[in-house]
């Protein structure tokens, strides 16, 4: 691709020279360079002419981009912080006391001028400050000059051949040096940015890529796992020219495979190597060499150079980089902002070798930093965070396996892991917490970090029985008995997934409340009593728990939500055959809200919406299919029933057309919640204040419970408040909050149905899921209880056609007969989605 020589001299802030060329492309429209320049100029005026320290809470939105360009253009040193990491944001505000804080929450740029001038002595070359340790809030920052940014942008644009017709999708955060380099290098050449905060696993992301003609996107190693999951290799993307990869080492076999995929599909793979201290990039592997030399980082970028300094006692030396993009130096306090250049070359801390063909290969690391999911994590800072939480800990880790944390004494390992995952912005599966009696130490008293790292190693397989040891002498060794080694297979079978990995969790594998039941029952049989947060723990962690001590037990323990679902389902069928009257359907709405908050409110906004949509489909598809059959076989239902619209357009009087009211109301509630959380600012509010958000939503839904407001809808809101009550239970993470939810239930449920027994049932059920971790169940009924709970929706659907046929045999037979039919329909619906692809595969193979 030929590049206009004038473009190679342009800076990324010289926007107006590109005129009406498209600069920013979103799903909603296009902004030209001239329009972008005008917006930047407006913010430049708002920031003033006196140089001040500006902190920007960055998001992947237009206002963040405008604010960044305005600060750099006007010469204000800018401290870039991820907006979605409030702990890191607060830490850096406290440490550096910026003069101005910019944020874009709420859809517009907010300028918080903390003082009229500045209290800082700011070096003339200082342009940008970026954290060295991802999102931990470490006060150690990299000091970058305007020249650093411009030189690196031009160098990257040169070896990628970026031209005015290129358009890059913004797959990485602007607060991350890799993501920012994509912005700078494209703006420097008058190219376009396809602005989005969607994940690559979101189908809408690929719609935007196609509609806006994106020619490239940036990826970290974890991104390629996600690309495999969505079938990227077979996507038709005619505009795609190349993919860049950095942010950690991608396994050589994956580099080779993806490079070959690109050759086959018509795009290039650029493997790159960089560091925040070098602005972004130091090396790249030419695409035509990637498949042949997948383990190397390539050659130095234009304008840069490498050398290897030998290290005594080691076979490989330290990789040292020189170039105009090397930082000015570090800052660890506000006083350091006055410093000029203190670093002239970058000692990477990586051990490397140079091949005879000139390609460099990194052989290992010397530092206490690791890159996990594309984020650079300071292991020492993680230890300090844990110390602040009252935990004595040692932290080790690797780029490939995530963090391995040993915590001394008795703590809630699951809670610590969740807090760290949120604070660091890491996937929950990448944070492994292991409780130990004492931290492993060397003879010198220092922490034995290799021993910490070994805590994550899978348990050794059991030794082969000797001739003197009878086989299957204990229950766990008998054929057919599942144990820890079967955990991955149990996940795969219960979730219908063929891609279960050690780092996956129930949530990341898109589990929902229906699959939760069957999976938890089998895991409990294989591992013994499960921790309350097992659905957030990785497959590898669960498999490493060891086999339970087997002894004949007459009582098993299951979660209250599972037992209540099973019992409530049987009671619903019994009530309809008039065996006895004990109304439990409304309790199921409480349990549905409880499970929704546990399983559907994790991960990114796009990830949440994807899981919610899939969970909704698992309710809608089998319901619509069965009701359509019932419509054909009987005269009891209407077309409105098939489309779950009877509550909207059906008769007001209670007829057979209201048989499926429960399914309709549940779908209405789930659709309403999905629509609510699709609003970005509400999604952000729920993440920041999960319990307060649930209480606020409960207050709103209680308006319809007490008939204060009539929304004009047929039925959803009178049950919506029960759903939100269950939601609040799941978010009540302390005794005080659980007490509050219990009191609210005791105050609001009575009088809601004019049926004291139904109201007591709801309150007692809510108190059970709030306060009781496990309920005893006869061991012989454990698996049956799990089946009934997992198939509760399907039993509810099918019993309307089954029990009239069985009623001549008596109501008891009718109730008992309905249960296996519903379980069978559940099993069929689980089997079909995998059976059809497997049949097609066999046909093609034959």
| Alpha carbon distance 174, 153 (integer Å) | 14
Do both 647 and 684 map to the same domain? Answer: yes
Do both 670 and 708 map to the same domain? Answer: yes
Predicted confidence at residue 458, as pLDDT, reads: 53
Q: Say if 804 falls within a structural domain.
A: no
* 401 pLDDT more than 70: no
Predicted confidence at residue 703, as pLDDT, reads: 86
Do both 186 and 258 map to the same domain? Answer: yes
Segment 598-609 mean pLDDT: 74
Q: Say if 348 falls within a structural domain.
A: yes
Predicted confidence at residue 837, as pLDDT, reads: 56
Per-chain mean pLDDT for the chain: 85
Can you give the C-alpha Rg of the chain in angstroms? 30
Report residue 834's pLDDT band, with 50, 70 and 90 as the boundaries. low
Q: DSSP states of 105-157 as a string?
A: TTSS-EEEESSSS-SS---TTEEEEEESSTTS--S-EEEEEHHHHHHHHHHHH
Q: Say if 832 falls within a structural domain.
A: no
pLDDT tens profile 416-474: 888 888 778 777 778 889 988 878 865 445 577 788 888 876 544 333 333 333 333 33
Provide φ and ψ at 13, rounded to 5°: -100, -5
For CA atoms 171, 177, 182, 184, the dihedral sign is positive
Do both 351 and 388 map to the same domain? Answer: no
Segment 374-381 mean pLDDT: 75
Domain boundary among 718, 743, 778: 778
| CATH number of domain containing 504 | 1.10.1200.10
Better pLDDT: 7 or 92: 92
Contacts of 429 by beta carbon, 8 Å cutoff, 6+ apart: 402, 503, 504, 505, 508, 538
Do both 330 and 394 map to the same domain? Answer: no
Do both 258 and 376 map to the same domain? Answer: no
Report residue 600's pLDDT band, with 50, 70 and 90 as the boundaries. confident
Report residue 831's pLDDT band, with 50, 70 and 90 as the boundaries. confident
| Ramachandran assignment for 82, one of left (phi > 0), alpha (psi -120 to 50 degrees), beta (any other) | beta
* 240 pLDDT more than 90: yes
DSSP 654: -
Segment 524-543 mean pLDDT: 76
Query: Lowest-confidence range among 3-12, 95-104, 485-494, 528-537?
Result: 3-12
Segment 608-622 mean pLDDT: 87
Scan for tokens 């606020």, then name that residue: 696
Better pLDDT: 418 or 129: 129
Segment 557-562 mean pLDDT: 86
Do both 378 and 344 map to the same domain? Answer: no
Q: What angle do helix axes 811-845 and 792-806 make, rounded to 10 degrees?
A: 120
Better pLDDT: 575 or 485: 575
Number of domains in the chain: 4
- Side-chain half-sphere CA neighbours of 281 within 13 A: 35
Report residue 289's pLDDT band, with 50, 70 and 90 as the boundaries. very high
* 626 pLDDT more than 50: yes
SS3 at position 395: strand
Do both 489 and 426 map to the same domain? Answer: no
Segment 10-38 mean pLDDT: 91
* 743 pLDDT more than 90: yes
Do both 398 and 508 map to the same domain? Answer: no
Do both 425 and 488 map to the same domain? Answer: no
Pair of tokens at residue 380: 């020492």
Segment 784-806 mean pLDDT: 93
| Alpha carbon distance 376, 357 (integer Å) | 30
Helix (H) or strand (E) holding 80: strand 78-82
Scan for tokens 């974890």, then name that residue: 222
Predicted confidence at residue 480, as pLDDT, reads: 45
Strand order in the sheet with 110-113: 110-113, 100-103, 54-58, 78-82, 126-131, 141-145, 329-331
| CATH number of domain containing 432 | 3.30.300.30
Q: Say if 788 falls within a structural domain.
A: no
Provide φ and ψ at 427, rounded to 5°: -60, 140
Segment 402-408 mean pLDDT: 90
Predicted confidence at residue 4, as pLDDT, reads: 47
* 6 pLDDT more than 70: no
Do both 609 and 635 map to the same domain? Answer: yes
Segment 815-837 mean pLDDT: 85
Per-residue three-class SS string for 268-328: EEEEEEECHHHCCEEEEECHHHHCCCCCCCEEECCCCEEEEECCCCCCCEEEEEECCCCCC
416, 535, 559, 723, 824 from 516: Cα distances, Å = 23, 8, 11, 18, 18
The partner residues of 755 in beta bridges, in order of sequence, read none
Segment 278-288 mean pLDDT: 95
Quote the distance between the C-alpha of residue 282 and its chain's center.
29
Provide φ and ψ at 612, rounded to 5°: -65, -40
Closest CA to 216 of 240, 250, 183: 240
Share of the chain above pLDDT 70, in %: 87
| Alpha carbon distance 728, 590 (integer Å) | 10
Predicted confidence at residue 586, as pLDDT, reads: 93
Predicted confidence at residue 137, as pLDDT, reads: 61
Do both 511 and 623 map to the same domain? Answer: no
Domain boundary among 548, 570, 596: 548
**What's the burial of 379, exposed, middle or buried (CB within 10 Å: 0-12/13-18/19+)?**
buried
| CATH number of domain containing 194 | 3.40.50.12780
pLDDT tens profile 183-211: 999 999 999 999 998 888 888 899 899 99
Q: Say if 672 falls within a structural domain.
A: yes
Q: Are 694 and 727 in contact (CB under 8 A)?
A: yes
Per-residue three-class SS string for 740-787: HHHHHHHHHCCCCCCCHHHHHHHHHHHHHHHHCCCEEEEHHHHHHHHH
Q: Say if 602 falls within a structural domain.
A: yes
Q: Say if 831 falls within a structural domain.
A: no
Domain that holds residue 383: 369-454
Domain boundary among 365, 399, 430: 365
Query: Lowest-confidence range among 49-53, 410-414, 759-763?
Result: 410-414
| Most confident stretch, 40-49, 463-472, 707-716 | 40-49
| Alpha carbon distance 420, 175 (integer Å) | 19
User: Kind of pairing, strands 360-365 and 192-194?
Assistant: unpaired
Pair of tokens at residue 126: 């200082």
Predicted confidence at residue 842, as pLDDT, reads: 52
Q: Say if 540 falls within a structural domain.
A: yes
Query: Lowest-confidence range among 122-126, 374-378, 385-389, 829-833?
Result: 374-378
Segment 620-649 mean pLDDT: 93
Segment 12-17 mean pLDDT: 90
Query: Lowest-confidence range among 42-51, 180-189, 554-563?
Result: 554-563
């Amino acid at each position: 691709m030929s590049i206009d020589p004038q473009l190679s001299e342009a800076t990324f802030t010289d926007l107006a020279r590109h005129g009406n060329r498209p600069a920013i492309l979103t799903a909603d429209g296009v902004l030209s360079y001239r329009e972008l320049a005008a917006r930047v100029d407006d913010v430049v005026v708002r920031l003033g002419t006196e140089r001040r320290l500006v902190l920007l809470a960055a998001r992947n939105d237009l206002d963040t981009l405008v604010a960044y360009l305005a600060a750099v253009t006007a010469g204000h040193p800018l401290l870039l912080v991820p907006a979605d990491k409030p702990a890191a944001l607060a830490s850096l505000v406290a440490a550096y006391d910026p003069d101005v804080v910019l944020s874009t929450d709420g859809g517009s740029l907010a300028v918080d001028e903390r003082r009229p001038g500045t209290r800082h002595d700011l070096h003339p070359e200082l342009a940008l400050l970026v954290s060295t340790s991802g999102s931990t809030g470490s006060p150690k920052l990299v000091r970058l000059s305007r020249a650093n940014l411009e030189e690196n942008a031009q160098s990257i644009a040169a070896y990628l051949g970026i031209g005015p017709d290129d358009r890059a999708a913004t797959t990485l955060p602007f607060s991350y040096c890799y993501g920012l380099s994509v912005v700078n290098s494209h703006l420097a050449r008058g190219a376009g940015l396809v602005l989005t905060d969607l994940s690559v696993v979101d189908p809408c992301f690929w719609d935007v890529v196609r509609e806006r003609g994106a020619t490239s996107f940036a990826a970290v190693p974890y991104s390629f796992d996600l690309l495999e999951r969505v079938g990227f290799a077979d996507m038709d993307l005619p505009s795609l020219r190349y993919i860049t990869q950095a942010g950690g080492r991608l396994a050589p076999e994956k580099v080779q495979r993806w490079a070959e995929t690109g050759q086959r599909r018509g795009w290039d793979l650029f493997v790159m190597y960089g560091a925040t201290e070098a602005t972004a990039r130091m090396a790249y592997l030419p695409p035509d060499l990637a498949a042949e030399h997948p383990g190397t980082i390539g050659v130095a970028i234009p304008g840069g150079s490498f050398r290897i300094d030998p290290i005594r006692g080691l076979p490989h030396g330290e990789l040292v980089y020189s170039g105009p993009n090397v930082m000015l130096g570090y800052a660890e306090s506000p006083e350091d902002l006055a410093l000029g250049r203190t670093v002239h070359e970058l000692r990477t801390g990586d051990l490397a070798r140079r091949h005879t063909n000139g390609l460099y290969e990194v052989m290992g690391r010397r530092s206490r930093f690791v890159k996990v999911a594309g984020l650079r994590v300071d292991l020492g800072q993680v230890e300090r965070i844990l110390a602040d939480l009252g935990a004595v800990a040692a932290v080790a880790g690797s780029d490939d396996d995530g963090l391995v944390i040993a915590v001394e004494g008795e703590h809630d390992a699951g809670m610590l892991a969740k807090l760290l995952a949120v604070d660091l912005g890491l996937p929950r599966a990448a944070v492994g917490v292991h409780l130990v009696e004492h931290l492993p130490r060397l003879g010198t008293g220092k922490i034995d970090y290799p021993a910490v790292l070994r805590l994550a190693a899978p348990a050794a397989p059991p030794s082969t029985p000797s001739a003197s040891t009878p086989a299957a002498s204990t229950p766990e060794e008998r054929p057919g008995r599942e144990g820890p080694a079967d955990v991955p297979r149990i996940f795969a079978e219960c979730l219908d997934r063929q891609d279960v990995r050690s780092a996956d969790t129930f949530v990341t594998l898109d589990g929902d409340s229906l699959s939760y039941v069957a999976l938890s029952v089998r895991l409990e049989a294989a591992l013994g009593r499960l921790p309350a947060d097992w659905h957030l723990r990785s497959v590898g962690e669960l498999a490493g728990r060891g086999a339970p001590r087997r002894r004949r037990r007459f009582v098993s323990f299951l979660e209250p939500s599972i037992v209540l679902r099973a019992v409530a389902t049987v009671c619903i069928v019994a009530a309809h055959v008039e065996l006895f009257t004990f109304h439990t359907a409304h309790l199921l709405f409480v349990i549905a809200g409880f499970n929704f908050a546990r399983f559907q409110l994790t991960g990114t906004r796009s990830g949440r919406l994807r899981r919610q949509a899939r969970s909704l489909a698992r309710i809608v598809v089998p319901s619509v299919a069965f009701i359509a059959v019932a419509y054909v076989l009987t005269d009891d239902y209407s077309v409105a029933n098939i489309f779950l619209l009877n509550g909207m357009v059906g008769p007001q009087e209670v007829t057979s057309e209201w048989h499926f009211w429960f399914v309709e109301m549940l779908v209405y509630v789930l659709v309403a919640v999905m629509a609510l959380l699709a609003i970005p600012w509400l999604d952000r509010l729920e993440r920041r204040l999960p319990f307060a958000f649930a209480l606020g939503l409960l207050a709103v839904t209680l308006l319809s419970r007490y008939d204060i407001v009539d929304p004009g809808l047929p039925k959803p809101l009178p049950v919506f408040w029960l759903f939100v009550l269950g939601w609040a239970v799941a978010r009540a993470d302390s005794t005080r909050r659980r007490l509050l939810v219990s009191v609210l239930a005791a105050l609001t449920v009575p009088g809601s149905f004019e049926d004291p027994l139904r109201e007591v049932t709801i309150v007692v059920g809510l108190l059970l899921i709030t306060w009781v971790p496990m309920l005893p169940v006869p061991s012989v009924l454990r698996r049956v209880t799990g089946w009934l709970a997992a198939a509760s929706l399907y039993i509810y659907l099918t019993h309307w056609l089954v029990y009239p046929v069985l009623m001549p045999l008596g109501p008891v037979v009718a109730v008992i007969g309905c249960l296996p039919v519903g379980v069978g329909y559940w099993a069929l619906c689980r089997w079909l989605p995998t059976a059809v692809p497997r049949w097609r595969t066999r046909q093609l193979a034959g």
